[in-house]
Amino acid sequence: MSLIEMQNVDVRLGGHQALSHVDLAINKGEIVTIVGPNGSGKTTLLRTLIGALKPSRGTVKRSKGVRIGYVPQSLSIDATLPLTVRRFLCLPHRHSTQAMDDALHHAGANGLQDRQMTDLSGGQFQRVLLARALLKKPDLLVLDEPTTGLDQPGSAALYRQIEQVRQDLGSAILMVSHELHVVMSASDRVICLNGHVCCHGAPETVASAPEYRALFGTGTQGALALYRHDHDHHHHSHAEESHEHGACNHA
Amino acid sequence: MLDDFLIRAMLAGLGVAVAAAPLGCFVVWRRMAYFGDATAHAAILGVALSLALSTSVFAGALAVALAMALTVSTLSGRGYAMDTLLGVLAHSALAFGLVAVSFLQGIRLDLDAYLFGDILAVSRTDLAVIWVGVALILALTIWRWSPLLTATLNPDLAYASGIDPKREQLVLTLGLAIVVAVAIKVVGALLIVALLIIPAASARPLARTPESMAVAAAVIGAVSSLAGLRLSFLFDTPSGPTIVCVSAVIFTSTNLVARVLRATA
């Protein structure tokens, strides 16, 4: 039985069809990465999984008692809100000091307990968010572009930390990522999204799929093209094998 | 003891300060100052309506404040920017309220009391209503504290923890409507938001956690109320504005001191 399963899910956002016919299942202990251009519904998919959005059609099934830890893409804490790391970890439920220390340790954020959230660096902040998600002892950890705003060494370190979490705690991991080297090296499965699931499977399979190439191109395993496509939602101009892009257009 | 109007005034001021403190913190954290203004200004319309229908002013103010708060919550995010929407609603509610009052015979003299408060005229019944309101607000905020705080940080974090941020927003809205209704007699519709925001903002530099900020805001609000009453008695100045003046002085002091401490640290 999968931890969480989406069947034929449609999501509408204010009259706009953000997702259609999405099938997805996450199994115990696997790392699944979602890639796709901006506006392709990656965040919408995650928000539907955690219950922040209701699908307009289809079902989201969670296995009984499944615990989901969520790390949002961005979290801006108003400067007027005084909040220590410790207090933040205790929202909405209190945890023992030991549990908090353990979570911070697993997230690589030792010693930050008494710092103010607004004083943390980008990398420390993301690790504290990760620690908060770990406090639930999640079966599934959902991360939305966890390395937004981090430099390259910083994001590499964070991805190593995430992999460490899977080894230590055995949580399945579902994340959105723009960094293709991570997708290709660390994921068990990749889902390529563009309003619908274009293609999915093992990283090597997806990398050679025509739908994927249409979105991201083929050069350097697609890494360069991925960055170019960040700025270009209409994936028709840069793809080197542009004759194949039709497979992945919005319906 | 309650026969003394000064004692009643002090108790009324204390009650409003204590109730306004935790709500004021949320207003500051969520940047809802203008939202508070809209609710408070709408209360004038409620006062006019209840005077016309000879019902309780408290009930009228509460009903219209609540209606306004719900309208704003519903309309937000549809078309106009929030501050434009609030600017339109707040000032139209105030204007309609003032016009409505002018239709009522013999009320004109009383208008000042509702715009600027008349804390020295608080009756025993008023006092009872105020403290019931205070108890309600405190119970509500203590009960919903953790979910409200989580929803304030980030709606998606709240959803992921099984909290519905829209419901928490509604709780806050209800609390604000009650505080406006009970505070209208104490500081008046025009200065209610000052009582929400200034103590909370004064408490910010003193606090390291949300809870300590709320407690500090309550203490600062209480001190402002008592000191303001005393000063207005000594210098024969209007009570509501004097209370707000005292809290403004405290705001300046705590923030200046914090800045100096940070510079020397």
3-state secondary structure of A33: strand
For residue B203, name the pLDDT band (cuts at 50, 70, 90).
Answer: very high
CA-wise closest residue to B231 among B24, B3, B6: B6
**Domain-embedded: residue A94:** yes
């519905």: which residue's tokens?
B164
CB contacts of B146 in chain A (<8 Å) are: 91-93
Mean pLDDT of chain B: 89
CB contacts of A145 in chain B (<8 Å) are: none
For B134-143, b/e burial (b = at least 16 CB within 10 A) is bebbbebbee
Q: Which two tokens stand for residue A33?
A: 């990465």
Calpha distance A145→A158 (Å, rounded):
11
ipTM above 0.85, yes or no: no
Residue A183: what pLDDT? 75
pLDDT at A220 over 70: no
For residue A218, name the pLDDT band (cuts at 50, 70, 90).
Answer: low
Q: Percent of chain A at pLDDT above 70?
A: 86
Tell me how far the alpha carbon of residue A245 is from its chain's centroid.
25
**Domain-embedded: residue A90:** yes
């203490």: which residue's tokens?
B219
Q: Do A106 and A145 sit in the same domain of this protein? A: no
CB contact under 8 A, A92 and B156: no
pLDDT at A80 over 80: yes
Cβ(A77)–Cβ(B153) under 8 Å? yes
Mean pLDDT of A127-136: 91
CB contact under 8 A, B161 and A92: yes
For A224-248, b/e burial (b = at least 16 CB within 10 A) is ebbeebeeeeebeeebeeeebbeeb
Q: Do A7 and A47 sit in the same domain of this protein? A: yes
Calpha distance A151→B178 (Å, rounded):
48
For residue B232, name the pLDDT band (cuts at 50, 70, 90).
Answer: very high
For residue B1, name the pLDDT band (cuts at 50, 70, 90).
Answer: low
What single-letter amino acid sits at B39? T
Provide the edge-to-edge strand list for the sheet that holds A4-13.
A16-26, A4-13, A57-62
3-state secondary structure of A142: strand
Parallel, antiparallel or unpaired: strands A16-26 and A172-176 = unpaired
pLDDT tens profile B73-132: 788 767 677 788 888 888 888 898 888 888 877 655 577 888 888 888 899 999 999 999
Calpha distance B146→A174 (Å, rounded):
27
Parallel, antiparallel or unpaired: strands A197-201 and A189-193 = antiparallel
3-state secondary structure of A71: strand
Cβ(A112)–Cβ(A128) under 8 Å? yes
pLDDT at A84 over 50: yes
**Domain-embedded: residue A186:** yes
Q: Using CA coordinates, name the residue in chain B closest to A53.
A: B159
Tally A–B CB contacts below 8 A.
68
Calpha distance B170→B184 (Å, rounded):
21
Q: Using CA coordinates, name the residue in chain A closest to B200.
A: A80
The domains found in chain B, sorted by start residue, are: 5-190 (1.10.3470.10)
**Domain-embedded: residue A42:** yes
Mean pLDDT of chain A: 82
Task: Kindly give, in sequence order, each residue whose CB lies less than 8 Å from that of residue B260, ignoring residues fewer than 6 positions away.
Answer: none
pLDDT at B67 over 70: yes
CB contacts of A52 in chain B (<8 Å) are: 155-156, 159-160
Q: Roughly what angle, to the nearest 10 degrees, separates helices B192-203 and B33-52?
A: 150
Q: Do A89 and A108 sit in the same domain of this protein? A: yes
Q: Do A183 and A248 sit in the same domain of this protein? A: yes
Mean pLDDT of A160-187: 84
CA-wise closest residue to B188 among B50, B48, B44: B44
Cβ(B204)–Cβ(B213) under 8 Å? yes
Q: Do A114 and A151 sit in the same domain of this protein? A: no
Q: Is A83 on the interface with B (CB under 8 A)?
A: yes
Domain count, chain A: 2
pLDDT at A164 over 60: yes
E strand or H helix at A172, and its extent? Answer: strand A172-176
Q: How far is B97 from chain A (nearest CA, A)?
A: 33
**Domain-embedded: residue A205:** yes
Residue B70: what pLDDT? 85
Q: Which domain holds residue A94?
A: 74-137
**Domain-embedded: residue A169:** no
Q: Using CA coordinates, name the residue in chain A closest to B28.
A: A80
Residue B72: what pLDDT? 82
pLDDT at B168 over 50: yes
Partners of A197 in the β-ladder: A193
For A22-48, b/e burial (b = at least 16 CB within 10 A) is bebebeebbbbbbbbbeebbbbbbbbb
Q: Do A184 and A200 sit in the same domain of this protein? A: yes
pLDDT at B32 over 90: no
Choose the weakest-confidence range: A237-241, B117-121, B168-172. A237-241
């699931």: which residue's tokens?
A197
Mean pLDDT of B232-251: 94
Q: Do A147 and A51 sit in the same domain of this protein? A: yes
For residue B177, name the pLDDT band (cuts at 50, 70, 90).
Answer: very high
Q: Any idea what the CATH number is for the domain that residue A37 is in?
A: 3.40.50.300
Q: Which two tokens stand for residue A162?
A: 């995430």
Mean pLDDT of A165-169: 88
Residue A128: CB atoms within 10 A of its CB come to 24
Calpha distance A198→A212 (Å, rounded):
7
Residue A156: what pLDDT? 84
Q: Do A84 and A118 sit in the same domain of this protein? A: yes
Q: Do A143 and A227 sit in the same domain of this protein? A: yes
Mean pLDDT of B127-147: 95
Choose the weakest-confidence range: A130-144, A212-226, B45-59, B60-74. A212-226
Q: Do A147 and A244 sit in the same domain of this protein? A: yes
For residue A250, name the pLDDT band (cuts at 50, 70, 90).
Answer: very low
Radius of gyration of chain B (CA): 18
Q: Do A31 and A143 sit in the same domain of this protein? A: yes
Mean pLDDT of B145-158: 93
CA-wise closest residue to A116 among A87, A146, A150, A96: A87
Q: Do A61 and A81 sit in the same domain of this protein? A: no
Cβ(B38)–Cβ(B189) under 8 Å? no
pLDDT at B153 over 80: yes
What single-letter amino acid sits at B135? A
